[in-house]
Amino acid sequence: MSDRPLVGVLALQGDVREHRAMLEAAGARTTAVRRPAELAGLDGIVLPGGESTTMGKLARIFELLEPLRAAIRAGLPAYGTCAGMIMLADHLENGVAGQETIGGLDVVVRRNAFGRQVESFEAPVDVEGLADPFHAVFIRAPWVEKVGSGVEVVARVASGEEVGRIVAVRQANLLATSFHPEITGDHRMHALFVAMVRSRPGLADGGTDDRK
C-alpha cells in the first residue's frame, strides 16, 4: 500500500474540511465521498458529526447507505465521530422511530446522552494509545451504554457527574468517539485511525488508487 493511504470523508454533513485537514496532517491522502462510486479505491473512511437522523436520510437519498454497509462488512476501516459513532452502532437508545444506521460496531449508543447543544463541554480524556490526555470537545454528544465482547473501550470520562461513561471504542477495523477531534488542532486521534488503516490485513501487499 502507498505510504499515504487514501481516506474518504463522508461529505453529506459535518466538518468535512476539518477532518480532511487532520487526516492529511496524520499522513493520509483524502477525498470527499457523496456517491457510491466514490467508495471505490478507498483504504478507509471517516463518518463526521452532524445530526444522525438527517445523515441517515441523506445517505439513503444519495444511495450510499447499503454500499457503506457492504464496504464496512467487507472490512473497510471506518472512524465515526459523534453522529458518526451513532451511524456505526448496531443498537441505539433514545433514537428516532425508524432511524437507520450503517452498523458494524457491537455497541448500544445513547443518542444526545450528554444533553442539548447548550450543554456542550470540553474535557481532557485519557485515550488508550496516546501518551498524554486528549482535549475532547463534546457537542450534543452520545455515549456508549453497552459494549459487546469483541469491543475494546478506548476512552472514558475521567471526572464530573458522568465519570466512567464510555466515549471511545474500537472493534476490529472500526473506531468511534463521542467527541469531535477535528476541531481541536490535535491530529492524534486521526493518526490512530490512519495507523489502523495502514495495518489492515492484506493492504500492505496490495495497492490503492492514485487519486489526490
CB atoms within 10 A of CB 194: 25
pLDDT digits (tens, 9 = 90+) for 48-99: 998 888 999 999 999 999 999 999 999 999 999 999 999 999 999 987 888 8
CA distance 44 to 90: 19
pLDDT digits (tens, 9 = 90+) for 112-154: 888 766 467 888 899 999 999 999 899 889 999 999 999 999 9
CB atoms within 10 A of CB 175: 28
Cell of 122: 470540553
- Residue 95 has a pLDDT of 79
**pLDDT, the chain, mean:** 89
What domains can be seen in the chain, in order of their start residue? 6-198 (3.40.50.880)
**Residue located via cell numbers 489502523:** 196
Lowest-pLDDT range, 10-14, 101-105, 199-203?
199-203
How far, rounded to the nearest angstrom, does the alpha carbon of residue 64 sit from its chain's CA centroid?
Answer: 16
Enzyme catalytic residues? 82, 180, 182
